[in-house]
A = this chain, B = another copy of it.
Amino acid sequence: MDFSSKLLENAVNEISQLPGIGKRTALRLALHLLKQPEENTHALTEALNKLRNKINFCKKCHNISDSVLCEICQNPNRNQEIVCVVEDVRDVMAIENTSQFRGVYHVLGGKISPMDGIGPHDLTILALVEKVKAGIIKELIFALSSTMEGDTTNFYIFKQIEPYKITTTTIARGIAVGDELEFADEVTLGRSIVNRIPFENSLKV
């Protein structure tokens, strides 16, 4: 693209660094900001700068938090002995929305992915193992996505904590509520038959 202004070109280049945003979309966003009052751009850039500079992670679960401990870890009604291992804050938000979980979380900050150069030491696995070692945790629930990276990460953590003999579980895989059986993939349908549950249990939620 041939820009008439260096300022515009810089802005477009920076915006198009964001994932899923190409040069054309970046140009559209930059021109949108130019049509809006200056305050809108300042509010956006200030929010981003503040987020990046002042962001804090909960000392215990590594979730994004404004205080030393996040609200969930601070809550005396949550069971600190049941820990759900998730990839990032979006998964915490998704599980919290269900109101079905009364334990606490451990946010890994990603999955082991050699292709992207992410090894176990880039994640908070060591801190999790330390917590298990300390004997606070009774049950660990693996809630990573069931991709190759997710399965690798689950298995890596499982091997690390195996000596400490705590209960480890994983969230149920199966046909989503409301889905038609005929459109389900074979692996999911197969697992949902192998891991079938007593009928009464399905009436609980």
Interface assignment of A14: CB less than 8 Å from any CB of chain B: yes
6 closest A-B pairs (Cβ-Cβ)?
A45-B45, A41-B52, A11-B51, A14-B47, A14-B44, A11-B47
In the assembled complex, the Cα of A146 lies from the Cα of B130 at a distance in Å of 65
Q: How far is the CB of A113 from chain B (nearest CB, A)?
A: 13
In the assembled complex, the Cα of A44 lies from the Cα of B47 at a distance in Å of 12
Checking B28, B30, B89 against A8 with a beta-carbon cut-off of 8 angstroms, the contacting residue is B89
Interface assignment of A42: CB less than 8 Å from any CB of chain B: yes
Knowing A52-B33, A90-B27 are in contact, say whether A44-B17 is a contact too (CB < 8 A). yes
Evaluate contact between B52 and A3: CB separation under 8 angstroms.
no
Evaluate contact between B19 and A29: CB separation under 8 angstroms.
yes
Interface assignment of A176: CB less than 8 Å from any CB of chain B: no
Interface assignment of A25: CB less than 8 Å from any CB of chain B: yes
